[in-house]
Structure 1
Amino acid sequence: MLHSRLFTTIAAIFLAAPTVLAAQTDPLPSWNDGPTKQAILDLVTAVTAEGGSGYVAPGDRIATFDQDGTTWVEQPLYGQALFALDRLTRMAPQHPEWKSTEPFATVLSGDHAAMGRFSEKDWLEIVAATHAGMSAADFETLVADWLPKSVNPVLKRGPVTSLVYQPMLEAMAYLRDNGFRTYIVTGGGQDFVRTYARDVYGVPPEQVVGSSIATKYEMTDAGPVLMREPKVFFVDDGEGKAKGIELFIGARPQIAFGNSDGDREMLEWTTAGAGRRLGLLVLHDDKAREFAYGPADGLPDSKVGTFSQSLMDEAKARGWAVISMESDWKTIFAVP
């Protein structure tokens, strides 16, 4: 009788083991099962299968991730824009002329809706005023000091680095576990993102490709410094992302993640390469847990992180995977 019970218990354990093991080894536990998750798994399987037609040597496996709206929240304004606006407000007492000069007057009024309509020229003026005239080291210190105190003005949560998407962190870790180098390729400031990329994403500073302003080498009594100048050096957005990948990485990715029209060329460049490739776009269609905007598929329009219908149409035509935040992600934020 005892042996019979023991046999029954052991059999039950072994029969249940595959299910338990599967749950423990799911590399993307925050993703719902479906074609989007499977597309990522299939890509990794193809490029890591030695002898297969899609095999890529570990040193050549590259994955690129846009940041704003792809790996963390970008509404109502980009994280770096929040930093710039906060810094401008703190600098305002030394610049009384800003009260009657645009775009500074709008910033000081606190009208976030109006700020959301700023042009590229407006933002360039704000960046020039708040990001330049200091050394690269001093700028890094300013960002590092601001991040822990930062708050998203709509979600009323902070710091902004806590509003990172858990499914994307899992995707990065899964790709690295399979021999990929993961890069952040962002329209945001390269130096800004490099201050926290390792801690937040596990991405070293040298694997951040972003927009940058010009710097000037100066020799001081304390030694050489790189001074930040109020002019643009490189804009890593739109076609700039394809150029940036070639300039700073020197190889075409096998997989690229984006979320907006500014990522179109990065996905085109990635998926045009030979062999197995995959492009993915995050669609913000979850108003309950995050935000809902497009205007693709009838979602509300947005100047911040625009996902146009033409981008959606191209995604369907080219076979890019569209990640529905509502349907594909069990959870959104890395920190509840």
Structure 2
Amino acid sequence: MIVRTCLPFCLLFAAFLPLAFAVDPLPSWNDGPNKKAIIDFVEKVTKAGTPDFVPVEERISVFDNDGTLWCENPLPFQAIFAADELKTLLPDHPEWREDPSVKAFLKSDIAALSANHYKGLLEIIALTHAGITPDEFTARVKQWLATAKHPRFDRPFTECVYQPMLELLSYLRANDFQTWIVSGGGVDFMRVFAEGTYGIPPEQIIGSYSLVRFEMKDGKPVLTKTVDSLFIDDKGGKPVGIHTFLGRRPIAAFGNSNGDQAMIEYTTIDNPRPSFGLIVHHTDAEREYAYDANPKSTGKLTTALEVAPKYGWTVVDMKNDWKTILP
């Protein structure tokens, strides 16, 4: 009697099982060698009983943010936020107008702000981000994200994310990967939106940061953001940040620029575990932007692109590999 009852359900399950496994985990990716490379890697390291199997606790993937998970033009979005904050705060701080970085900003002198490793841009960020509590900063970012729109795409900045990369994040997590952001952007800035936008919690974000000061005020604990001991999580800083805050070597790294090269090298060269490196190459001026050697703001891609074949990194051609770009 029990067999008769269960048999139809077993047959039904068997009928639908091939369909379940046939579901495309990356539907916004065109079929081809790059999509296949991703899936082959994930299947390889998750197949128990094989030499390439990687235990769940070591399945760590790291992602750059600007230009890898969302757009970085016409400027990185945190820079646009800082610029909007400067406009709001400038009337209360007329002395700022004598600052060379502020003068460059008021003249829209991107070259001056970008010079010397974006020194001017960092000074603008320092003026607008420091001297307030993390909670106050979070509230300002939330308010800005709720109202500001991308100047080209006319949509909220949190909707200027790459649909194929959202699918990749979900696919990795479905296979028990941790997904970390390792970005030159400010860690406090990214913590505001990353969980809702990418499904990445605040504790899995490594970014640029400066010291936060603790003190008791009126019997209450207060944290205040400063610009002291600024750590830039870019280029060689990325492996340092991974070691310091993550404590394990990743087996998969995803970036889009020379600033991500050290992170991908650290992940893929002489790694005792199977590893995977991927570069997002911006090649679609019609649907997004096209740049590599001469970007409009950030995201220069030359040396990382040159060494990619040597190390077997996957280079994604946005125009040809992605069916769609923005959700």
Q: Give the TM-score normalised by the residue count of structure 1.
A: 0.88
Give the C-alpha shift of residue 20 in structure 1.
Answer: 6.6
Paired position in structure 2 for 1:131 = 129
SS of match in other structure, 1:216: strand
Letter in 2 for 1:167: P
| Mapping for residues 160-199 of structure 1, pairs under 5 Å | 160-199=157-196
Paired position in structure 1 for 2:273 = 275
Number of aligned residue pairs: 311
Letter in 2 for 1:166: Q
Letter in 1 for 2:307: E
Give the C-alpha shift of residue 232 in structure 1.
Answer: 3.8
Paired position in structure 1 for 2:253 = 256
Question: Structure 1 residues 301 and 195, CA, compared in 2 at 3 Å: closer, same or farther?
Answer: closer
Question: Structure 1 residues 112 and 150, CA, compared in 2 at 3 Å: closer, same or farther?
Answer: farther
SS of match in other structure, 2:211: strand
Question: Structure 1 residues 146 and 239, CA, compared in 2 at 3 Å: closer, same or farther?
Answer: same
| Mapping for residues 184-333 of structure 1, pairs under 5 Å | 184-221=181-218, 223-272=220-269, 273-295=271-293, 300-308=294-302, 310-333=303-326
The answer on whether the counterparts of 2:113 and 2:121 sit within 8 Å (CA) in structure 1 is no
The answer on whether the counterparts of 1:294 and 1:302 sit within 8 Å (CA) in structure 2 is no
**Which residue, out of 133, 139, 142, partners 1:141?**
139
Q: Distance in 2 between matches of 1:144 and 1:112?
A: 27
Give the C-alpha shift of residue 117 in structure 1.
Answer: 3.7
More off after superposition, 88-97 vs 322-331? 88-97
Paired position in structure 2 for 1:81 = 79
Paired position in structure 2 for 1:13 = none
Give the C-alpha shift of residue 80 in structure 1.
Answer: 0.4
Give the C-alpha shift of residue 330 in structure 1.
Answer: 0.4
Paired position in structure 2 for 1:51 = 49
**Which residue, out of 54, 60, 63, partners 2:61?**
63
Give the C-alpha shift of residue 275 in structure 1.
Answer: 2.4
Give the C-alpha shift of residue 79 in structure 1.
Answer: 0.7
- CA offset digits 1:21-73 (Å, max 9, x no partner): 676x1000000011111111011111101111111111221011100000000
The answer on whether the counterparts of 1:106 and 1:115 sit within 8 Å (CA) in structure 2 is yes
Q: Percent identity?
A: 45
RMSD across aligned positions (CA): 2.0
* Structure 1 segments unaligned to the other structure (5+ residues): 1-16
Question: Structure 1 residues 161 and 136, CA, compared in 2 at 3 Å: closer, same or farther?
Answer: same
